[in-house]
Amino acid sequence: MPTSSILLSALALFGPAFCKPTAAPNTPLITCTPRPASPREQQAEFEKYADLLYVKRTPRPAYAYFTANDTQHNPYVLDGAAASFALVNPIYINHTNGVEMLHQGFQAPIGWVHWRLDGGGYPAPTAVVDVYRFEGACIVEHWDIVQTLPADAINPHALF
């Protein structure tokens, strides 16, 4: 019996009440609908976003905080949530890669996360700071700074 049939049989046996639906990889992204938000609301949204992305490692629901056409400053990614999601999603959902959030902060309308990445095609470990700008309830702009430990480092401290 192919795995898919076994899974389907399991679903039939246990019924939808027992299965947590997970969206198929090519399901269209649900992005943020522009609406007003106070600085306090923005901070709450940012903390939910950071938890979904860097702790729970679930980019799809995290991207509900991104506007569809955000301005992107990572030189390797085009503007828009779909473009950054295509890059980000495989890294975060693959738990072979280490993702550890170290610090986060928010001062309206800007939030930032300092985190450690091990893997994902980058030399391990890599230090990343992501900076996000909100307009109302949505993230509309992103910058990132990515640093690996150089071979000619003069300071003996680790990156972390």
Ligand X SMILES: *[C@@H]1O[C@H](CO)[C@@H](O)[C@H](O)[C@H]1NC(C)=O
Which residues here bind ligand X, judged by CB under 6 A?
A: 69, 71, 90, 94, 96-97, 119-120
CB of 127 to ligand X, least distance (A): 17
Nearer to ligand X among residue 111 and residue 142 (C-beta): 142
Nearer to ligand X among residue 50 and residue 138 (C-beta): 138
Q: Which two tokens stand for residue 104?
A: 């986060």
Instruction: Please tell me what DSSP assigns to residue 28.
Output: P
Q: Side by side, which strands form the sheet with 98-107? A: 66-72, 138-148, 126-135, 110-118, 98-107
Q: Exposure string (b/e) for 114-148, b if CB count within 10 Å is 16 or more?
A: ebbbebbeeeebbbbebebbbbbbbbbbbebeeee
CB of 118 to ligand X, least distance (A): 8
Helix (H, G, I), strand (E, B) or coil at 84: helix
CB of 18 to ligand X, least distance (A): 26
Helix (H, G, I), strand (E, B) or coil at 113: strand
| Best CA proximity match to 61, nearest among 36, 77, 81 | 81
CB of 156 to ligand X, least distance (A): 27
Q: Which two tokens stand for residue 109?
A: 């309308």
Nearer to ligand X among residue 40 and residue 56 (C-beta): 56
CB of 9 to ligand X, least distance (A): 25
Nearer to ligand X among residue 94 and residue 148 (C-beta): 94
Nearer to ligand X among residue 43 and residue 89 (C-beta): 89
